Amino acid sequence: MSKIIFKSFLFLILINFGCAQKENTDNENIKITTTPKNLYIEAKNELDNSKYEESKVIFQKIIEIFPLTNEAIQSQIMLGFIDYLSLNYENAISSFNKIIQKYPSHKNIDYVYYMRAISYFEQIEKENLDGNNNFQAIKNFNEVINKFPDSDYTKDSRQKIIYVKENIAAKHMDIAYFYLEKKKYFAAMGRYQEVIYNFSKSKFTAEALYRLVEIYYKLGMIEDAKKTAAVISYNYPKSKWYEYAYKLLNKKKAENKLRIITKIRNLIKLN
């Protein structure tokens, strides 16, 4: 019985050894019959035809058989790109991080930095205001700009940062308005001030200033309301928010004037 078991075990070893030998032989045949450049072109053709799995197999084969070639490094980049195309953002970011660490001087490393930033950027809509992707996108796009000022991806990185900041400012405005409706004035004030001080170039700054005028007005802080309205007048003289602030403060003047007149009339009647 033990002889039968031993023979079966030996048979399995021989099969596995044979498979390994066949795979090594196949790899050797690939080395002889093709070049990493030709394989890379083949993989790119598969990718261009949206055959992601087929292209991944070839890219992985290049890395395995020709590990020291430029095509092997490019294949690693392309595998990260395929994860990005497949919406596997975490895998893509992990791949790009490894490439940046391993090949910091590669000729296309600016593209890797850019794709890492894009992988965060495309997840922003799924995130809440304080979601990590907003801030990671800004951080990574800034790395592209600072490390590669002459890169083809620098201009788009700047534009993407503007978009992300607008997105964050918009969410601050939404939350602030919610607090304002609930008459939680100090909580709303904090959000509007966040927009004014940290996202001053956004399209929401003039409105945030006006909302502060409103809050100051409701809290009886008239001098602060006037000072804030003056900032709107100086920076946004043609905006509707300046008109609103002007009307609001004039309304207060009219109310004060009416109050004084009423008080005088009452005194006259008493006399």
pLDDT in tens, 77-127: 999 999 999 999 999 999 999 999 999 999 999 999 999 999 999 998 755
pTM equals: 0.74
8-state DSSP, 127: S
**Whether the predicted pLDDT of 254 surpasses 80:** no
Amino acid at 166: E
Give residue 126's pLDDT: 57
**Whether the predicted pLDDT of 148 surpasses 70:** yes
Write down the domain spans for the chain.
Answer: 32-98
Helical (H) or strand (E) element with 231: helix 222-235
- Rounded to 10 deg, the angle between the 205-218 and 185-198 helix axes is 150
**Whether the predicted pLDDT of 17 surpasses 90:** no
Averaged pLDDT for residues 249-254? 67
**Whether the predicted pLDDT of 192 surpasses 60:** yes
Helix, strand, coil % (nearest 5) of the chain? 80, 0, 20
**Whether the predicted pLDDT of 21 surpasses 80:** no
Rounded Cα gap, residues 119 and 88, in angstroms = 9
Give residue 268's pLDDT: 46
Instruction: Give the CATH fold of the 32-98 domain.
Output: 1.25.40
Give residue 27's pLDDT: 52
- Going by pLDDT thresholds of 50, 70 and 90, the confidence category of residue 19 is very low
Give residue 124's pLDDT: 86
Give residue 1's pLDDT: 45
**Whether the predicted pLDDT of 193 surpasses 50:** yes
- Going by pLDDT thresholds of 50, 70 and 90, the confidence category of residue 260 is very low
